[in-house]
Structure formats: C-alpha cells, structure tokens
Amino acid sequence: MKARFLIAVLLWLPIQTGVRAASLETILDTTLQKNPAIQQAKLNLEQAAGDRLVLRSVVWPGLRANIPAGIQGGHRGGSNSIKAFGFVRGAFTQPLFNAAIPASLRRGDIDLLIAEQQLNVAVVEQLHAARLAFYSALYNRQLLSLRQTQRQRLNENVSSEENRYRAGLTDRSAVTGATVQAHDLDSQIEGARRDYGAAQLKLAEAIGSDLGQSANHLPEPEGDLQFAPVAVDLNAETESALERRTDVKLARLLVRAANEDERIIAAGYYPVVNGTVTADYIPVTGIHREGSTSRTQDFIGSEIREGATLTWLIIDSGKTTGAVIKQRKAREVNEAECRKLEANVARELSRIRNELESIEGREKSLAAATNAAEQDVTTIKQNLGSGLSSELEYRLAENSYLQTKTGLVDAAYLYNVALAEWDRATGRYFQFSDDTPQNVH
C-alpha cells in the first residue's frame, strides 16, 4: 500500500498565486517537495511497510533446513570402518490456530495507515507554517514600505520647515520638531526590516533551501496582502472537518492500533497449535544417529514425520495479565485524547469564525478612518504653507494617518492568518485520494 495524496485547492487565498520572487503557490509546492520534515515522514512510511511484514509473519509457514556432514568410525556393532556421511534435514511449521493472527493482520494494516496519516499531518503542518511565513513576510514588507513612505513625507516636511525658517516665517523649534518626528520612524523601519528578514528565513526553512547560502538567495514573496472577506458555514464545516482532519484521523487510528495490541497480548491466554513436518534425506544407509544406543535406532533411510504441537499457558505468573492491563490503559488514554480532539474541533472553528467577523468589522472602521485621515493630511499640508495650519497639527495628522494605515495592514494580515487557520482547522489543505472520485487528478 502506498501513501496517496493530492494537493487540495486552498480556499480564499488573498493573493494571486504563487525562489527568489515566489508566489504562494510556488512556496507551497516547493515545501511539499523539499521540506525536511515531510521527507522524513515519507521515509517513516517506507519503514512502516517493513513493520507490516513483521506483524504478518505470524500467519505464514516457516521452513528451515540444515545439512550435517562429517565422518564416523570405530568398532561398533560389527562395523570397524571409517565412513563419511552427509544428509539433509528439514522442518516445516504451519500455524493452525493462533488467537493473535487476526489482530496481527489488522495491526499491520493499521501501522501503514498510521504512517500515511503521520505523513499527511506533517505535510499539513509544514504547508501551514510556510503559508503563515509567507503572510508574515508580506505584512512586514508592507509595513516597511508604509513607514518608509511616511518618513519620506516627513522628510519633505522637514525641508519645508527649513525653507520657512530661512525665510524667517518660523522659528528653530519647528524645524527641530519636524526632524524629531521623522527620526522617530527609524526604529520602526529597522524593526520591520528585521522581521521581514526573519520571515524570509522561515520561508527558506520551509522550502528546504540551503541556509548556508547568501541572504540574497532568500525567497522574495510576490504580491501584497489583500482584504477579501468571505462567508463561512460553521455547522457544515464542523461536520466536514471531523471527516477531513488528518490529526483526527490519526488519533482514531492510534485508538484502533492500541485495541489490536491489546488483543495480540491477550491471545497469550489461548492455546497455540502448529502443524509440523520434519524430514531427513539420507543418500546412504547405516549412518549412526546421534544419541542412539543400538543399530536399530540408526538411520535406515530417508524419512518424513508429521504431527502437531500445542502450547497453552496454564498458569499465568502475571506477565500476560500485567501486559494486558498496561495496554488497556494505553488504549483508554488514546480514546480520551481522541474524544478531546474531536470535541475541540467545534470550539476551534467557532473561535476562528468569531475572529473573522471581528476583524472584518474592524477593517471597515479602519478603512473609513484611513480615508478621513488621508484627507486631513492633504488639507492640513496645503494650509501649512499658507499659515492656516500649524506644524503641530500636521504632525498629529500624519501620526493619525500612519496609525490607521498600519491598522488596515494589520487587519489584512490577521484576516489572512485567520483564513489560513480556518483552512487548517477544517482540513482543507488536502484532499486525499480515498476521499475523492477516481477521476480527480
């Protein structure tokens, strides 16, 4: 059985798709192919295929053979010659009844399914991390651009105040105040530049880039954050999420695996019956059998013996009972964790839906405030030259505009992050081949 998965359509992506300049689509595709955690999970899947063979081996027959050879001699029973001998001895064993066989077969299949789901969980986690890093990079780059633009406008105000000071229209304090306000943005600009670099580094890690390369080779995300409100159906998505979520599927598989492990251990209470066939092929006669005391016990010729062996635990010293109790508790823990995870799905989706609605309302308010603040800045700047507005009024208007514009960028970033969380919580990052029609490619 091979792990089969297809990249699903990511809903509500706020950017037109997308190392150096890279779109979100490119980032996600590269992450899927080169991310180290995903590659490790693929190797674990291959290992699970070998573990499955081990668990299934309890049902298959066993065959072994050995070839004793040597020389024997000395006076015994009228024979005083030295003879070379050699023969083939074989044994065939077939389990006829073993209570552990059905559970072992199921356990082998579940092990492979667990490895597949662990791979799927790793893929979802890494894609989600790459997506968040992509949004973080766009967000910090937009903040950097916004504050650089704002500083440029304030620098223009500094130049204007210096010209007015030289013309005797204002005093030195106005120039100083404008300069201080422009320099106040320096720390914010450097912080945004540093955070942008950190987001680029996370993107590089997600897509498996060589971090030893120059920083000039870090991925540059394409596009800008856009606010595109969407409607979500909480009830329908909650029901679907319980069927699609990879972590929920994995938790259910772990419960099944623990249950089968308990059955395998409990099989120690039941008898084990094996059919056996032993054979000796002897090319000559008169070969002494080890342990025989007379010629009548020696090998006469080739022979085959068949029979059955039965093994049954009559008195348990506590080893089997203790192992069963221990495994039962492990199963119950897994069951509790699974129920907890399933119950948390609805609460998580409800929380994200509330966040989306709250951010949407905040964005509408900020959009109106930003338009008003921009108009105020334009008006006050025009009046500043004619002396109808003060330099303090201009600085206050610029600060108000910067705050509302930054708030808009914050809202767009938080909304896109919430949408990414919604896709993760509803299991929309992937559609698995066993959940989709066969003609889906």
Answer yes or no: is pLDDT of 353 > 90.
Answer: yes
Q: Which residue has the higher pLDDT, 121 or 215?
A: 121
Q: What is the rounded CA–CA span in Å between residue 134 and residue 431?
A: 22
Q: Is residue 31 part of a domain?
A: yes
Among the listed residues 340, 352, 113, the one whose alpha carbon sits nearest the alpha carbon of residue 230? 352
For residue 69, what are its two tokens?
């050879």
Q: Is residue 11 part of a domain?
A: yes
* Structural domain harbouring 266: 5-73+83-435
At residue 329, the pLDDT reads 92
Averaged over 183-203, what is the pLDDT?
84
Averaged over 216-234, what is the pLDDT?
84
Please provide the DSSP assignment of 348-411 as one string: HHHHHHHHHHHHHHHHHHHHHHHHHHHHHHHHHHHHHHHTSS-HHHHHHHHHHHHHHHHHHHHH
CATH number, domain with residue 374: 1.20.1600.10
Give φ, ψ of 80 to 5 degrees. -125, 15
Q: Which residue has the higher pLDDT, 320 or 14?
A: 320
Name, of 269-283, 356-370, 389-403, the range with top average pLDDT: 356-370
Name, of 13-17, 91-95, 355-359, the range with top average pLDDT: 355-359
Q: Is residue 281 part of a domain?
A: yes
Q: Is residue 337 part of a domain?
A: yes
At residue 56, the pLDDT reads 83
Please, are residues 425 and 347 in contact by the beta-carbon 8 Å criterion?
Answer: no
Answer yes or no: is pLDDT of 334 > 70.
Answer: yes
Task: Give me the percent of the chain exceeding a pLDDT of 70.
Answer: 78
Answer yes or no: is pLDDT of 190 > 60.
Answer: yes
At residue 287, the pLDDT reads 56
Task: Give me the percent of the chain exceeding a pLDDT of 90.
Answer: 23
Report the chain's terminal Cα–Cα distance, integer Å: 19
Confidence of residue 6 (pLDDT cuts 50, 70, 90): very low
Averaged over 8-27, what is the pLDDT?
55
Q: Is residue 441 part of a domain?
A: no
Q: What is the rounded CA–CA span in Å between residue 400 and residue 403?
A: 5
Q: Is residue 440 part of a domain?
A: no
**How does the average pLDDT of the chain come out, rounded?**
80
Q: What is the rounded CA–CA span in Å between residue 345 and residue 331?
A: 21
Q: What is the pLDDT of residues 401-420, one digit of tens each?
A: 888 888 899 999 999 999 99
Split into its structural domains, the chain has a count of 1
At residue 1, the pLDDT reads 40
Q: Is residue 421 part of a domain?
A: yes
Q: What is the pLDDT of residues 251-282, one digit of tens each?
A: 999 999 999 999 999 988 889 898 888 887 77
Q: Is residue 78 part of a domain?
A: no
At residue 440, the pLDDT reads 28
**Which range is least confidently modeled, 80-94, 133-147, 295-309?**
295-309
**Which range is least confidently modeled, 281-285, 286-290, 434-438?**
434-438
